[in-house]
Amino acid sequence: MHERVRRLRLICRGHVQGVGLRPYVYRRATELALGGWVVNSAGEVRIEVQGSVSAMAAFLRDLRRIPPPARIDVMIRQARPLEAAAPFRIHSSAADDPAGMVIAPDLATCPACRAELFDPTARRYRYPFTTCSQCGPRWSILRRLPFDRDHTVMAGFPLCAQCRAEYENPADRRFHAQTLACPACGPALTWHQSDGAISARGGDALDLAVAALRQGQIVAVKGIGGFHLLTDARDEAAVARLRVLKARPTKPLAVLFPDLDQAGRSGHIGATEAAILTSAAAPIVLLARREDDPLGRALAPGLDHLGALLPYSPLHHLLMAALGFPVVATSANRKGAPLCFENGEALRELSGLADGFLLHDRAILRPVEDSVVQVFAHEALRLRLGRGDVPVTLTLPRAARPVLGVGGQWKNTVALTVKDRLVIGGYRGDLDHPQAQAAWAQECATLPALFGALPRTWACDAHPDYVPTREASRLAMGGGFGVSSVQHHHAHLAAAIVEGRCTEPLLGVVWDGTGLGSDGTIWGGELLAWEAGQVRRIGALLPFALPGGDAAVRDPRRSALGVLAALGEPLDGPLARSLGYDAQSLHVLTRMLE
């Protein structure tokens, strides 16, 4: 007795493009003798499958168990009329409206590529740009949508015959892998001396970088989303020199560990922390420091947590395997300037900071800082969105007109509404530096262009002196769009509501000291009632004077001094002196409060 045959159309939405879903679907359908096809289309993957009921059931079970980083959030099933039997196929990506597309973030090296990297019999043994359909750069190398090789910087590296065969072989894990490369046809390393001159290429370049780090030197290394400055984390003199050169005397420095075991010697790693550190995002994770941490306290002065990350690219795996010890990994930039991501820029801007440069010729189009995560109550709390996370795509309750959110003055992030989705870009940092402002303006132009969106409204902070607010107002006069001002604390609450998908009335507790209030003064913490999109202030911290106004944002001691003054404490007393100001500075600040 023949089993009944049926045909289904499946519309899959979520993280479904650029993450190996089509090859996975092809292999499972072929193994189950199903006919049909799969195609990328307008931010979703469409599948039609035809075959026996039992094979179809097995296929659907497998689809619900797709390996990360692919993720299906929504699957729509539609019955379709039977067609003539035909083998399963992968169709070329449809040239659809980019506004409907979802972009995958940059992905850390998968276990299979990592194993191949250290296999002497493998064709890509020790090749620092090894990737497959499950890993490698995505967002940082994308020129335009959809995510196909010709639309990325990899278009400049034509596939050799062997790579082409892998790309076209459905049984190979590099089937339709858009970042596919090998030593014969892909990017390559170069080592540059402190004056910028090239002194080695390929494996020799890597060896010189390792030697420099072993000698306590500072090395600029080009990663997936930008440059790091690396130095031996065990060498107190090297760390102190890096701090002086970066004008970063006390801020915590992240540490790149060779493996989970070494990271665990410095910080407490539970199951949740381990899963995050080894995930496809591979962020910096804040670990509670051990009392017997072998690394010096100078890495994070006065703090009981240490930022730790593991190798996330083949280059970093090779580098750390050769070193065998942890290194400081801090963003490569001058104080206040944005992250360096272009070769020429790094050689110019980091001259005098780095003793050597480990570069490669795979261009970075979209600079991305490292993501930062802290585990709270066994849940990952994203403190900074960056590599491995961005662009973040959230589904909205309904479609909305395009709006560009241009962010605030500090810890800036740009976001865009596209149809029924909110697309959040990467962390842009503080906008006090002219180069940071130029990078912000570039993001405001390129993010809408990528999705073919034309925002008629730019949403900005209500503070008129913030760079995004000022620039949005200036550009609006000749740009054909309007500006919508949003009170700072309302924006914080709205972000939490969207992220938490809240729909019921709620009380928002926003403890933040930089919100310009309706009376023209800086408001501190507020209690905000929210219902059906309306916000009402129902409570707040008592006001107090801020010596220097917004300068208190950068120096919280000023806020403490203002609180002491409001409480009637003497500003020449022991509490005020404990803030660490010298006599002259304390006198000036006291005069501001009079």
Write the DSSP symbol of residue 99: G
Share of the chain above pLDDT 70, in %: 98
What gap in Å lies between CA 372 and CA 305, rounded to an integer? 12
Q: Can you give the pLDDT at residue 555? A: 86
> Could you tell me the pLDDT band of residue 97, with boundaries at 50, 70 and 90?
low
542-551: long-range contacts, CB 8 A cutoff, minimum separation 24: 542/566, 545/592, 545/593, 546/522, 547/589, 547/592, 547/593, 548/589, 548/592, 549/522, 550/465, 550/514, 550/522
Q: Can you give the pLDDT at residue 483? A: 94
Average pLDDT of the residues in 473-494 = 89
Contact 455, 481 (CB under 8 A): yes
pLDDT digits (tens, 9 = 90+) for 37-59: 998 877 789 999 999 999 999 99
**Is the pLDDT reported for residue 92 higher than 80?**
no
Q: Can you give the pLDDT at residue 528? A: 96
Neighbours of 283 (CB within 10 A): 28
As given in the structure block, the two tokens for residue 463 are: 């503070």
Average pLDDT of the residues in 550-558 = 82
Q: Can you give the pLDDT at residue 67? A: 82
What gap in Å lies between CA 227 and CA 338, rounded to an integer? 11
Mean pLDDT of the chain: 92
539-547: long-range contacts, CB 8 A cutoff, minimum separation 24: 542/566, 545/592, 545/593, 546/522, 547/589, 547/592, 547/593
Q: Can you give the pLDDT at residue 29? A: 94
pLDDT digits (tens, 9 = 90+) for 54-81: 999 999 999 988 888 888 888 999 999 9
pLDDT digits (tens, 9 = 90+) for 439-480: 999 999 999 999 989 899 999 999 999 999 999 998 887 777
> Could you tell me the pLDDT band of residue 102, with boundaries at 50, 70 and 90?
confident
Q: Can you give the pLDDT at residue 94? A: 66
Closest to 172 measured CA to CA, from 136, 142, 131: 131
CB burial of 290-321 (b: ≥16 within 10 Å; e: otherwise) equals: eeeeebeeebbeeeeebbbbbbbbbbbbbbbb
**Is the pLDDT reported for residue 1 higher than 80?**
no
Radius of gyration of the chain (CA): 26
Q: Can you give the pLDDT at residue 425? A: 94
Q: Can you give the pLDDT at residue 98? A: 73
For the ranges 100-104, 160-164, 170-174, 377-381, the lowest mean pLDDT is seen at: 100-104
Q: Can you give the pLDDT at residue 504? A: 93
The secondary structure element, H or E, covering residue 326 is none
pLDDT digits (tens, 9 = 90+) for 211-250: 999 999 999 999 999 999 999 999 999 999 999 999 999 9
pLDDT digits (tens, 9 = 90+) for 496-530: 998 888 989 999 999 886 788 888 888 888 999 99
pLDDT digits (tens, 9 = 90+) for 401-439: 899 999 999 999 999 999 888 999 999 999 999 999 999
pLDDT digits (tens, 9 = 90+) for 175-214: 889 999 999 999 999 999 999 999 999 999 999 999 999 9
> Could you tell me the pLDDT band of residue 135, with boundaries at 50, 70 and 90?
very high
> Could you tell me the pLDDT band of residue 554, with boundaries at 50, 70 and 90?
confident
Judging by beta carbons within 10 Å of its beta carbon (0-12, 13-18, 19+), is residue 181 exposed, middle or buried? Answer: buried
Location of structure tokens 């005098």: 352
Q: Can you give the pLDDT at residue 156? A: 97
As given in the structure block, the two tokens for residue 196 are: 């910028």
Beta-strand (E) ranges in 16-108? 35-41, 44-52, 71-80, 89-90
Q: Can you give the pLDDT at residue 240? A: 96
Average pLDDT of the residues in 361-387 = 95
As given in the structure block, the two tokens for residue 174 are: 């590099």
Write the DSSP symbol of residue 579: T
**Is the pLDDT reported for residue 96 higher than 70?**
no
Contact 412, 434 (CB under 8 A): no
Q: Which residue has the higher pLDDT, 94 or 359?
A: 359
What gap in Å lies between CA 514 and CA 430, rounded to an integer? 14
Closest to 181 measured CA to CA, from 200, 168, 201, 164: 164
What gap in Å lies between CA 482 and CA 569, rounded to an integer? 47
